[in-house]
Amino acid sequence: MYVNIILDFCSFKSTFRKDCGTMAKTQLDTFVAEDIAKQKGVSIPVHASLIERLLVRTAACSNLHPNADDEFSISSVGPSYRIINEYETKFRDAMRMESRVFEEPLTVEKLRPKGYLILNGHHRWAAAMRCGLKRVPIKIINCATESDIKTILEKSKHDKRVAIDLDEVVFRPADYRYLEDKAFTFPLSLRFKQRIRLGIPGLFYYLAKNGYDIWVYAAEFYSIDDIQRFFKAYSVHVDGIITGMNKREQNSSESVARMRELINNKYSMTLHIDNETILQTHNKTKEFEEFAIQASEEEWSKKAIEIIEEIEKRAGKK
């Protein structure tokens, strides 16, 4: 049996179908490289419907495709076989105990004509195949593509923007003291456990009224249409939504660099708002100025607006 399996590895696809659990280092490298080559110029990311994102909770390992921009797929960087081995040991232990194998689903994006692109969870996917698992849990999200960014910028009539972090500045846990009153109903309640910080809708309304495009960012992967619905529930509009920043910055793909350049070329000035400061940067001159938000949590948004009003007055005098 062992000899037959080794011989079968000469034709990796047949081995993959027959015995994923025997997948060795070189075979995984080969499979990843071949799959990326096969998908190039054929598969494109598309937005999944809300129904699909809610109902499709698992996928066949063979229907998941590695992301060419992820360090996992770059031979000079990854994958990490130490991490894969750790997951494989953990998964096999769980299988022996007949307990839950995956604590978190893989984050994926829908592809056309078929399948899903792995955004987060490559090493767990590889470990699952080595364990012989046929299906794994997934979470489908819709990401902003380079085309989406271009469309947003082409439609915009503004030359200044605000950049604000969702996880660090906007979102707060449900038991936080200073929250907007509104809670979510189904199906958003299934996707979000967070609430919005007190004053964020008022701050965003002020910014939009005064000619700022509002761009929100998140380290974690969220679906952009979920974020849009999230803010719409508070009667708030956001212009740009970019999530998964940890992975994007880590991978430093050409696509990410192009999106960053598009955004920087569009706006002459950006306000970066965080919990304690507002950083004003001029994209052409690279000059910047920092303003401290010295206020209680209850007065945070009011103070932020006062600072921006002062920035606007200074700009008007120049």
Residue 67, SS3?
coil
Q: What is the DSSP-derived secondary structure letter of residue 57?
A: -
300 touches 293 (CB < 8 A): yes
Judged against a pLDDT cut of 80, whether residue 210 lies above it is answered with yes
Please give the pLDDT value at position 265: 87
d(CA 71, CA 63): 20
pTM comes to 0.82
Please give the pLDDT value at position 277: 97
pLDDT band at 9 (very low <50, low <70, confident <90, very high): very low
In tens, the pLDDT along 257-292 reads 788 888 888 999 999 999 999 999 998 788 899 999
Please give the pLDDT value at position 22: 45
57 touches 105 (CB < 8 A): yes
Q: What percent of the chain has pLDDT over 90?
A: 61
164 touches 273 (CB < 8 A): yes
Q: How far, in Å, are 196, 198, 291, 297 from residue 176 at the CA level?
A: 10, 10, 26, 11
Please give the pLDDT value at position 248: 67
Judged against a pLDDT cut of 50, whether residue 10 lies above it is answered with no
How confident is the model over 163-184, as a mean pLDDT? Answer: 87
Q: Does domain 146-317 have CATH number 3.40.50?
A: yes
The domain made up of 2-140 has a fold known as 3.90.1530
d(CA 13, CA 32): 11
79 upstream amide cis, omega within 30 of 0: yes
In tens, the pLDDT along 120-143 reads 999 999 999 999 999 999 999 999
231 touches 208 (CB < 8 A): no
d(CA 89, CA 291): 50
Sequence ranges of the domains in the chain: 2-140, 146-317
Please give the pLDDT value at position 275: 95
* End-to-end CA gap in the chain: 80
From 21-25, 180-184, 236-240, the region with the lowest mean pLDDT: 21-25
146 touches 255 (CB < 8 A): yes
Q: Give phi and psi for 214, each to the nearest 5.
A: -105, 120
